[in-house]
């Protein structure tokens, strides 16, 4: 398969105003997508409507208008959702039987970045073949269909209410959060108007932070990438737990009543434990190359199979399908509850953890205690361009030396990020000081090699 020029592991992303994330390119992208979707629906009676949602960053309005114009010029009808979490757009694309859903978001990145990602009619990521067809169309001169064939635009006014009801429906019959005090950090992002509502309607006393977006404060000192304020607030308010979402709502981390962070691996472990408690066994869990070794060992003790996919939610979902398993995710908090939805959903995953808290009658700190995490250190080394790590003798030699020092109960992983211009250097092992030392040394070798 040919290499993709624009699409990464999670759509197209970059700094606003660069060669790609600018109004001119996004207009052309909307048109190219529209042309490909028009070909897909040829001969079918479906109207081929496309939904567009966005997070709260200020550039979203600009790119929403550009995408809308491009799609309409290609003859595609558009429905606007306004600010909505990424998983909500996946859900609404399915329930409206739309041809596709488009999300304008750079997820956990700062406000000055933005991106475009797509969902198929089934609420899943677009296949590589379709993304390549879109890229091919981008090389063609833009044209406009005849005026009587132009797409029409409407706004879906009850999108938030529909998604709130969906989230609540993923909990067991009669489930409630009565008596619980929960702090929820919405990262000043797309969940600001839905996450607090879901928890309140289920009966919790809710303290919302990071729920006052102004276009530029998304992910700024709040959310799953900066959980310190949440940790502090949980302790100060004597809350039962805290929930940290990211800017577009597809990731979640949690905080126990003592203020300690509970990451994605631990949340997956809690969910899996509850499934075993309910059913006596569980089919299996998909993690990634970055998943903690302690997570894998804890699942082994439960008798739950575990498999590692490449980093990226699309690869996790692919492996879940291959194994026919219903749970997977990443330590970053991107958790896919496949028996409830088709993509990573921070609110739905949090509700699965809260279900475990309620049904076990144990607090989050107790539930996560069965998993002992191995010390893990990750350092991001900035890149100025692409790098082939397998073609760097100094890096390969340093990795080999580090692996020899760690022995059988340790791991080294170097990988270029699919969403940021960095190489992620990860070292994991039983000896925390050694792990930190090796990570620093490896990061230094990588930094000198890419300079």
Which three-class secondary structure state does DSSP give residue 411?
Answer: strand
Judged against a pLDDT cut of 80, whether residue 173 lies above it is answered with: yes
The mean pLDDT value for 446-450 works out to: 85
Which is more confident, 382 or 408? 382
Q: Does this model's pTM top 0.85? A: yes
State the Cα–Cα distance between residues 86 and 108, nearest whole angstrom.
12
**Residue 360 pLDDT > 80, yes or no?**
yes
Residue 90 or residue 447, greater confidence: 90
pLDDT tens track for 264-312: 999 999 999 999 999 998 999 999 998 999 999 999 999 999 999 998 8
Phi, psi of 225 (to 5 degrees): -85, -15
Q: Is the pLDDT of residue 451 over 80?
A: no
Percent of the chain exceeding pLDDT 90 equals 84
**By the 8 A CB rule, do 312 and 290 touch?**
no
Better-predicted residue by pLDDT, 313 or 212: 212
Give 152's contacts (C-beta < 8 A, 6+ positions apart): 72, 77, 78
State yes or no: pLDDT of 385 exceeds 80.
no
CB 190 within 8 A of CB 83: yes
d(CA 168, CA 176): 10
pLDDT of residue 449: 85
- Average pLDDT of the residues of the chain: 94
Length of the chain: 451
pLDDT score at 2: 65
pLDDT (0 to 100) of residue 375: 94
- Split at pLDDT 50, 70, 90, the class of 47 is low
Q: How many CA atoms lie within 13 A of 416 on its CB side?
A: 13
pLDDT of residue 38: 87
Q: Which ranges constitute the DSSP H helices of 335-388?
A: 346-360, 364-368
pLDDT computed for residue 61 by the predictor: 96
> What are the tens digits of pLDDT across the range 412-430?
999 887 667 888 999 999 8
Q: Which residues contact 241 (CB under 8 A, 6 or more apart)?
A: 180, 182, 183, 234, 254, 255, 256, 257, 357, 363, 364
Residue 50 CA: distances (Å) to CA of 41, 86, 161, 336, 403? 12, 15, 20, 24, 49
Q: In the predicted model, what is the mean pLDDT of residues 54-61?
A: 98
Fold of 176-259: Alpha-D-Glucose-1,6-Bisphosphate; Chain A, domain 3 (3.40.120)
Q: What is the CATH number of domain 376-450?
A: 3.30.310.50
Give the other-Cβ count within 10 Å of 170's Cβ: 19
Residue 43: predicted pLDDT: 54
Question: Which residue has 């019959």 as its token pair?
Answer: 173
Q: What pLDDT, in 10s, does the model give residues 218-274? A: 999 999 999 999 999 999 999 999 999 999 999 999 999 999 999 999 999 999 999
Closest Cα to residue 250, out of 319, 328, 186, 335?
335
Mean pLDDT is lowest, of 77-91, 178-192, 193-207, 305-319, for 305-319
Give residues with Cβ within 8 angstroms of 331, minimum separation 6. Answer: 263, 264, 265, 287, 288, 290, 291, 292, 295
Can you tell me the distance from the alpha carbon of 281 to that of 291, in angstroms, rounded to the nearest whole number?
21
Is 60 exceeded by the pLDDT of residue 1?
Answer: no
pLDDT the model gives residue 332: 94
The pLDDT of residue 313 is: 87
Selecting among 38, 59, 107, 120, the annotated active-site residue is 107
Q: Strands 100-104 and 113-120: what pairing?
A: antiparallel
Residue 295 to residue 164: CA distance in whole angstroms: 31
Q: Determine the Cα–Cα distance for residues 301 and 278; give it in Å rounded to an integer.
A: 17
Residue 154 forms beta bridges with which residues? 79
On the question of a common fold for 12-158 and 176-259, the answer reads yes
pLDDT score, position 412: 93
Percent residues over pLDDT 70 in the chain: 98
| CATH fit for domain 12-158, picks 3.40.50.720, 3.30.70.20, 3.40.120.10, 3.90.1150.10 | 3.40.120.10
With bands split at pLDDT 50, 70 and 90, how would you rate the model's confidence at 82? very high
Residue 128 confidence class, pLDDT cut points 50, 70, 90: confident
- CA–CA gap between residue 425 and residue 290 (Å, rounded): 10
Q: CA 421 to CA 91: how far, in whole Å?
A: 30
CA neighbor of 354 nearest in space, from 88, 184, 232, 175: 175
Query: Token pair of 66, please?
Result: 């550009």
| Highest mean predicted confidence (pLDDT) among 199-203, 290-294, 396-400 | 199-203
Whole-angstrom Cα distance, residue 260 to residue 251? 18
Q: Which CATH architecture does the domain made up of 263-373 adopt?
A: 3-Layer(aba) Sandwich (3.40)
107 as an active site residue: the answer is yes
Taking the C-alpha atoms of residue 142 and residue 137, their distance in angstroms, rounded to an integer, is 9
| Distance between first and last Cα of the chain | 31
Half-sphere exposure of residue 314: CA atoms within 13 angstroms, side-chain side: 16
> In the chain, what are the domain boundaries?
12-158, 176-259, 263-373, 376-450
Helices 23-40 and 60-73 cross at an angle (nearest 10°) of 40
């Amino acid at each position: 398969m040919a290499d993709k020029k624009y699409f990464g592991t999670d759509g197209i992303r970059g700094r606003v105003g660069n060669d790609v994330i600018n109004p001119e390119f996004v207009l052309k992208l909307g048109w190219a997508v529209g042309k490909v979707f028009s070909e897909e629906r040829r001969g079918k009676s479906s109207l081929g409507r496309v939904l567009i949602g966005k997070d709260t960053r200020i550039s979203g309005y600009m790119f929403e208008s550009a995408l809308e114009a491009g799609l309409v010029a290609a003859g595609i009808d558009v429905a606007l959702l306004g600010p909505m979490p990424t998983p909500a757009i996946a859900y609404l694309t399915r329930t409206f039987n739309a041809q596709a859903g488009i999300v304008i978001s750079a997820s956990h990145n700062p406000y000055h970045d933005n991106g475009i990602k797509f969902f198929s009619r089934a609420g899943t990521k677009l296949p590589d073949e379709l993304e390549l067809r879109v890229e091919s169309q981008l090389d063609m001169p833009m044209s406009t269909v005849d005026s009587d064939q132009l797409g029409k635009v409407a706004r879906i006014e009850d999108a938030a209410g529909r998604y709130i009801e969906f989230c609540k429906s993923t909990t067991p019959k009669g489930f409630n959060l009565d008596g619980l005090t929960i702090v929820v950090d919405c990262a000043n992002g797309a969940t600001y108007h839905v996450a607090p509502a879901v928890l309140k309607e289920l009966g919790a006393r809710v303290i919302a932070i990071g729920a006052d977006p102004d276009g530029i404060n998304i992910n700024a000192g709040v959310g799953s990438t900066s959980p310190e304020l949440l940790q502090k607030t949980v302790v100060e308010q004597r809350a039962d737990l805290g929930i940290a979402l990211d800017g577009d709502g597809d990731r979640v981390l949690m905080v126990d009543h003592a203020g300690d962070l509970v990451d994605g691996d631990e949340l997956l472990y809690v969910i899996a434990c509850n499934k075993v408690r309910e059913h006596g066994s569980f089919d299996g869990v998909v993690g990634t190359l970055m998943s903690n070794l302690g997570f894998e060992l804890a699942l082994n003790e439960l008798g739950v199979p575990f498999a590692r996919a490449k980093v990226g939610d699309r690869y996790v979902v692919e492996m879940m399908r291959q194994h026919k398993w219903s749970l997977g995710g990443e330590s970053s908090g991107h958790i896919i509850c496949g028996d409830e939805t088709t993509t990573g959903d921070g609110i739905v995953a949090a509700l699965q953890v809260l279900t475990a808290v309620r049904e076990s009658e144990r607090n989050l700190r107790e539930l996560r205690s069965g998993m002992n995490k191995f010390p893990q250190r990750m350092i991001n080394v900035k890149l100025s361009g692409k790098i082939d790590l397998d073609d760097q003798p100094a890096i390969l030699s340093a990795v080999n030396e580090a692996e020899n020092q760690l022995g059988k109960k340790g791991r080294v992983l170097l990988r270029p990020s699919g969403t940021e211009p960095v190489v992620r250097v990860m070292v994991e092992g039983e000896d925390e000081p050694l792990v930190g030392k090796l990570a620093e040394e490896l990061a230094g070798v990588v930094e000198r090699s890419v300079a």
